[in-house]
Amino acid sequence: MRRELSDALASLWPELSIVAEAEDGMQALQALDRYAPQLMFLDIAMPGMSGLEVARAAGRRCHVVFVTAYDQYAVSAFEQGAVDYVMKPFELPRLAAAVERVRERLDRMPANLEGLLASLIERSTAKKRFLRWITVAHGRSVRLIPVNDICYFRADSKYTLVVTPSVQSLINKTIKELLDELDPETFLQVHRGTIVNVNAISAVHRDLRGRLEVQLKQRSEALQVSTTYAHLFRQM
């Protein structure tokens, strides 16, 4: 989808320079800090942090065009505010109209979207139902694991390892899929391939090399925290 958008923008706006692409909301914020772009195209449904949340964290540092496939995000509200949107799958005439409007605004201060974004975030979060069970196949039967019992998820080749205090199982869901289905207040991504249940954490400490590690209450192994996600434990 990013490649399709890039190709479409290249044909509609040849002088546009795309300085970065991001796979999730955290990468989008990092790119904003590093490149200070004039404009961001933000998919609303991103892993970890939605496009609405990224735009809110970005404040008035750049203009925003939202990309969405979901009308539950109140597209009519976008039309009434100083922000544009395009629907997935892309239609060139609609994208062209969005490009034209944003080009007219580039030399102005980005609009204050705090009120609009706060309302949309509240409404979208209230409607979302997070994953409550993980299903694991065992021969001819299926075992249900309540997500509250899970200590962490870890990517394992083409599968994902589900770890409880006493059992480890493999499932077909990817880390990215899980991030979109789990409650972000309870499950934190601490590494590219690791999601941890905050209620399973006993402590966070630094190893001899100064790297952050998560210690679990009911498991002996420590989980490494990559530098990308170290800000989650900034108070340390």
pLDDT at 236: 44
Asked if residues 35 and 19 have their Cβ atoms less than 8 Å apart, the reply is yes
Nearest alpha-carbon partner for 155 in 226, 212, 106: 226
Write the CA distances from 211 to 12, 59, 200, 204, 236, integer angstroms. 45, 31, 20, 10, 12
Element (H, E) at 190: strand 187-191
Does the domain at 133-233 match CATH 2.40.50.1020? Answer given as yes
Does the domain at 2-127 match CATH 3.30.1050.10? Answer given as no
Residue located via tokens 């540092």: 61
pTM over 0.75: no
Nearest alpha-carbon partner for 66 in 13, 25, 15: 25
Partners of 215 in beta bridges:
203, 222
Partners of 189 in beta bridges:
195
Extents of the domains making up the chain: 2-127, 133-233
Sheet holding 222-224, edge to edge: 201-206, 212-216, 222-224
Domains 2-127 and 133-233 in one fold: no
Beta-carbon count within 10 A of 169 CB:
18
Task: Write out the chain's pLDDT in tens, 236 residues.
Answer: 888 899 999 999 999 999 999 988 889 989 999 999 999 999 887 877 888 888 888 888 999 998 876 555 445 556 555 567 887 777 888 899 889 989 998 999 988 878 777 777 776 655 567 888 998 887 777 888 999 999 999 999 889 999 999 999 999 999 988 998 898 889 999 999 999 999 999 999 988 888 899 999 999 999 999 988 887 776 44
